[in-house]
Amino acid sequence: MIEKKIRLKAVSDVQEFVRAAERCEYDVDVFYNRVVIDAKSILGVLSMDLTQPLTVKYSREDSGMFEKTLNKFMIA
């Protein structure tokens, strides 16, 4: 599993992230505390505390749009 920390600051960021996740043929999950949400669910991602860093886990590297989108929102 690949794990990255991201921060989504606006609704438009959430929309872009979810659109990129929807294109993946594999599962993408978003974690915050003990809550796990399917990253392909816009309502699920919007229900999370967007003021906090989120952890994204997925099963394989993708050199396409999803990796580029994740890199845009990644934090150190």
Which pLDDT tens digit goes with each residue over 27-49?
A: 999 999 889 999 999 999 999 99
Give the separation between CA 68 and CA 4, rounded to whole angstroms.
13
What integer pLDDT is reported at residue 63 of this predicted model? Answer: 62
In the sheet with 54-58, reading across from the earlier edge strand, the strands are 2-6, 54-58, 28-32, 35-38
The pLDDT of 50-73, averaged and rounded, is 87
The mean of the pLDDT values for the chain is: 92
Distance, first Cα to last Cα, the chain: 19
The domains of the chain, with CATH numbers, are 2-73 (3.30.1340.10)
pLDDT above 80 for 61: no
Give the separation between CA 21 and CA 38, rounded to whole angstroms.
9
Of the candidates 9, 6, 13, the one whose C-alpha atom is nearest the C-alpha of residue 31 is: 6
pLDDT band at 59 (very low <50, low <70, confident <90, very high): confident
